[in-house]
């Protein structure tokens, strides 16, 4: 059984590189949005 690294897999499937980039971008934005909602508001 041959081991295939992520680099080898992405070289053979270039569309997955774009999909992974988009997924990571969306997760980053969702994390920032969730963190912004958890802030406390002091005042009236």
* Secondary structure (DSSP) of 7-30: HHHHHH-HHHHHHHHHHHHHHHHH
Question: What's the predicted TM-score (pTM) here?
Answer: 0.58
The DSSP letter of residue 2 is: -
pLDDT tens for each residue of 1-44: 468 898 999 999 999 999 999 999 998 888 777 777 766 666 66
Residue 40, phi then psi, degrees to nearest 5: -95, 150
pLDDT at 2: 67
CA distances from residue 41 to 19, 29, 31, 37 in whole angstroms, order as listed: 37, 22, 19, 10
DSSP 38: T
């Amino acid at each position: 059984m041959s081991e295939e690294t992520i680099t080898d897999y992405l070289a053979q499937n270039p569309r997955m590189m774009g999909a992974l980039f988009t997924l990571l971008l969306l997760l980053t934005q969702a994390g920032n949005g969730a963190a912004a909602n958890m802030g406390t508001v002091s005042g009236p």
